[in-house]
Chains A and B, each alone.
Chain A
Amino acid sequence: MQIDPLVFAAITAMAVSTYATRIFGYLLVRRQSVGGRLAGALEAVPGAVLTAIIAPMAFATGPAESLAALATVLMALRLPLIVAVAGGCAAVVALRAVIP
């Protein structure tokens, strides 16, 4: 088994940018403060990116997917997250069978 060179390059790009995010906060407060609008933007980005990723599946694919997304969120608020993931997958299978 070997590693494709392009896959290796892609993983390296991910590893470098991820490590940069891990040390950047430390470097930032050593030299100057993170405040104001930059801090607000940094706080919002991860949730906004995750929202953007799920938006097409949750809002623009079909009623079965949208309802399953809603069911997943409701389960995630009350149940262990792993149960919510499994329940969401089960919900989409059931809803696709019911909704033509």
Chain B
Amino acid sequence: MHGEAAGNEAAVTTEDATEGTMARRGPVGGDFAAGVLRILPLLVAVVVYGLLFGTLAAQKGLTPLEVALMSATVFAGASQFVAVEIWTSPPAILLLGATALMVNLRHVLMGAALAPFLQGWSRGQIYGGLFFMADENWAFALQRAAKAPLSPAYYLGLALPLYFGWIACTTLGTIFGGFVQDPARYGLDFAFTAVFLTLLAGLWKGRRSAYPWLASAAVAVAAYLTLPGVWYIALGGLAGALVGACQGPPQASASAREGGHAD
């Protein structure tokens, strides 16, 4: 206990010192740089997933400019992969919007968990900062907030390398992916499934996940075999949500709720 408290104090003091030496570059240079350094190793994944996403988007006829626009305005990998998977020409606008909403619903819980740590931020910092909230920088931001106040500069240091890296790599992937002939030869038609399976492996929370996912899989397969179009996605997701509702609230959101009430 004692050692822990001393350690935290030391960390804060070091940070203050860093901020002092960074004064020439502005008072927040130190925090921003610390955030960038923290997120940098994760850029490897952004490069690979970004190039893969661009390649698959090019196969669906999306241009590099369209992919750059999507990455810059949506900035949510899983939902972009899903969108390209169900992409048609011309695109089904409402379906794409609704599907992105469903895939990104986890952001609601993430935002609720982050909310108590944004108290000192201005309105613009909050609504601007939340635009960049992604799985990786959210996790690191919460980690930081457990030890020290979360500054907007640190948060942006986490977020901006991911953001610009994602735009750059998806666009590059689209430029070069347009040259890939016969994607099935390389198993690229299976790449979506493989990406989603690895995302699912990361979301797995034991029995809490098993029942909603089993319900979703059963309903989705039944709908896929009997209904036209991509109704199977919405129906499977709905089945999973109903099972999740029956299971009651998760632990993480309960603690976020308490934090929210405290302010």
Contacts and interface: CB of A to CB of B under 8 A. Distances in A.
Interface of A: 1-4, 6-26, 28-30, 33-60, 65, 68-69, 72-73, 76-77, 81-82, 84-85, 88-93
B17 to A, nearest CB: 32
Nearest to A58: B193
Given A6-B91, A34-B257, A60-B224, A51 B118 contact: no
B79 A14 contact: yes
14 contacts: A1-B65, A12-B73, A14-B80, A15-B73, A17-B97, A17-B101, A21-B111, A25-B109, A26-B114, A30-B260, A43-B208, A48-B236, A60-B224, A89-B190
B146 interface: no
B100 interface: yes
B233 A22 contact: no
A85 B195 contact: yes
A50 B244 contact: no
Sort A-B residue pairs by CB-CB distance and give the 5 closest, nearest first. A48-B240, A44-B244, A52-B236, A25-B111, A13-B97
A25 B259 CA distance: 13
B251 to A, nearest CB: 10
Interface residues of B, number: 110
A69 B193 CA distance: 7
Contacts of A38: 245
A26 B118 CA distance: 9
Contacts, number: 331
A76 B98 contact: no
A57 B193 contact: yes
Contacts of B259: 29
Interface in B198-237: 198-204, 208-209, 212-213, 215-217, 219-221, 224-225, 232-237
B81 to A, nearest CB: 9
B45 A82 contact: yes
B96 A13 contact: yes
A23 B198 contact: no
A39 B110 CA distance: 11
B190 A88 contact: yes
B236 A55 contact: yes
